[in-house]
Amino acid sequence: MKADPRGVLTGAHYLDGDHACAEGALAAGCRFFAGYPITPSTEVAERIAARFPECGGVFIQMEDELASSIAIIGAAWTGKKSMTVTSGPGFSLMQEHIGLAVMLETPCVLVNVQRGGPSTGLPTLPGQADMMQARWGSHGDYEIIALAPNSPQECFDFTIDCFNLSEKYRIPVLLMTDECVGHMTERVIIPQAEEIDLVERKYYHGDKSKYLPFKPDKDMIPPMVKAGDGYRFHVTGLTHDERGYPVMSWQCQEVLVRRLVEKIKNNADEIYRYEEENTDNADVVIVSYGISSRVASRAIDLARKQGVKVGFIRLIVVWPFPEKKIAELAAKTKALITVEMNYGQIALEVERCAHGKCKTLLVPHGGGWVHDPQDILAKIKEALQ
C-alpha cells in the first residue's frame, strides 16, 4: 500500500527532528492525533495541528497525557492510524495505556522526545534515561517495539516505520528520540507518496457471527475489525479469551500473555534493525543509539586515527533487543562499550547478552548535554589495557 499524497510534503526540507517526525506521521497516514504540550516534544503536536486540517486529520489537544494516550487507542479502533507525542513526565503518565494498547492489541504510535530526568529534570535538555521505562514501564509482562533515530531524516523515516510495525504486529510502537535530535535542524528528504510503502492493517473478512476478536492467525496476530462495522465485539483490559470475554484463570492468562510476548519474540528476527561497521576484526566494539551514536562516531574516528581497531553497532530498533547479535559480537571482540545518556540501561542488556565472553564497559552520562568524545576515547583505551 502506498502513502496518501495528501499527507506527503515531497521535497528537500530543512527541518528539526520534531517537525520531521510530524511529517513522517502525516506521510504514514496518521489521521488522528491527541496530545498534551510538553517540552521538548511540543513542536511535533504544533506541526500536526497546523497540517491536519488540509489533510483530513483530526487533532485534539487533550487535558493531560492520560487522556491523550487512551484517545489514540479509541481512535485506532475505528481504523484510523493514531499517534501521540510526549516527553519524560508525560511518558510516565502514559504507561498505563501502553499496557492497555498491548492488551487490546491496538496499533498506535507513541513518541518520547527524551529529556533529562527523573521528575521534571531538564525539560529543555537531552536524556536517554527512559529506555528501560520504554521496555518495562507499564505493569505486567509484555514485549514492546522501540526505535531510536539519530537525525531529523530518521525522525521522518522511523516514524513511518513505527506505524508499519504497529499495524503489522498490532502493538503500540515507541519512537524514542531525544531533545538533541528533536531540536536539531538538518536536511530532510521527503520522497514521493508512491515511493513510501505502508503496511495495511489485517482485517477480518469472514462470517460476522463467527468473528472472535482475539483468535490469532498462524502468525499469532488476530485480524482486526472496526467499531461500527456490525461485529458487536467486546474488548477488555482484563485477561480475556478469544471472544474477548474476561476469564479470571491462570490458564487463560498463560494463553493470552504468552501469545502477546511471543508474537514479538518469535518475530524478532524480522524486527531487529541495527547498523554494523567494522566489527569483524575489531578489538573493541561500541554499542550506541540515538544522539549518543553520533558522538560515538566522532570518538571512533579519533581512535581509528590512533590505530585502534574499533567496531560499531548502532541500534535502530532498541526493543526487542538484538540478543543474538550482541552475543555474536561478544564472542569475537575484547570489549563491548555502551555509550548512552544514562547511568547504564542498555548497557545492562549488553552485559546480559555478552554473557561474560568479553569485557562490558559503559560510558555513562547523566543527560543535559551529549558525551565528550574524549571520554569515549579514554574508555576505548581503558578497554584495551
Partner 1 sequence: MNPVDVSEIKKENIEYHPMEHLLRMDRIPHIWCPACGIGTAVTAFVSALEKAKPDLDKVSIVSGIGCTGRVAGYMKLDSFHTTHGRAIPFATGLKLANPDLKVVVFSGDGDLVAIGGNHLIHAARRNMDIVVICVNNFIYGMTGGQVGATTPETARCSTSPYGNFEPPFNLPLLMESCGASYVARWTALHIRRLTDSIVDAFNKRGFSFIEVIAPCSTLYARWNRLGSGLDIMKYYHEQSITRHNADPRDLKIDFQKPIIVGKFIDRERPTFIDAMNQRFSAVFGDRYTPYGVPAGPRSDEKEGVNA
Tell me which residues touch partner 1 (CB under 8 A): 31-32, 34, 53-54, 56, 58, 60, 62-64, 66-68, 70-80, 82, 96-97, 100, 226-238, 243, 245-246
How far apart (Å, rounded) are the C-alpha atoms in residues 76 and 226? Answer: 8
The three cell numbers of residue 17 are: 527532528
Place of cell 568524545: 373
State the minimum distance, in angstroms, from the CB of residue 229 to partner 1. 7
For residue 57, the minimal CB distance to partner 1 (Å) is 9
Q: Which is nearer to partner 1, 95 or 342 (CB)?
A: 95
Cβ contact 118:89 at 8 Å:
no
Q: Are 82 and 328 in contact (CB under 8 A)?
A: no
**Backbone phi, psi, residue 282, to 5°:** -80, 140
Instruction: Provide, rounded to whole angstroms, the least separation between the CB of residue 7 and partner 1.
Output: 14
Cβ nearer to partner 1, comparing 33 with 312: 33
Q: Is 13 helix (H, G, I), strand (E, B) or coil?
A: strand
Tell me whether residue 154 or residue 167 sits nearer to partner 1 (CB atom): 167
Q: How far is the CB of 116 from partner 1 (least distance, A)?
A: 27
Q: Which is nearer to partner 1, 37 or 368 (CB)?
A: 37
> What does the alpha-carbon distance between residue 84 and residue 105 come to, in Å, rounded to a whole number?
17
Rank residues 37 and 74 by Cβ distance to partner 1 and give the closer one: 74
- Smaller CB separation from partner 1, 98 or 196: 98
For residue 174, list its beta bridge partners. 110, 146
Q: Which is nearer to partner 1, 62 or 256 (CB)?
A: 62
Q: Which is nearer to partner 1, 32 or 204 (CB)?
A: 32
263/15 Cα distance (integer angstroms): 36
End-to-end CA distance of the chain: give it in Å, rounded: 53
CB of 98 to partner 1, least distance (A): 11
> Closest separation between CB of residue 102 and partner 1, Å?
12
For residues 54 and 218, which CB has a smaller minimum distance to partner 1 in the complex? Answer: 54
Buried (b) or exposed (e) across 125-160, using 16+ Cβ within 10 A? bbbbbbbebbbebbeeebbbbbbbbbbbbbbbbbbb
Structure-block grid coordinates of residue 237: 483490559
Min dist CB 203 to partner 1, Å, is: 15
For residues 30 and 109, the answer to whether their CB atoms sit within 8 Å is: yes
Q: Which cell numbers hold the place of 75?
A: 481512535
Which cell goes with 160? 513511518
**Least distance to partner 1, CB of residue 67, Å:** 4
Single-letter residue type at 98: I
Q: How far is the CB of 204 from partner 1 (least distance, A)?
A: 14
Distances (CA, A) of 153 to 149, 150, 156, 287: 8, 8, 5, 21
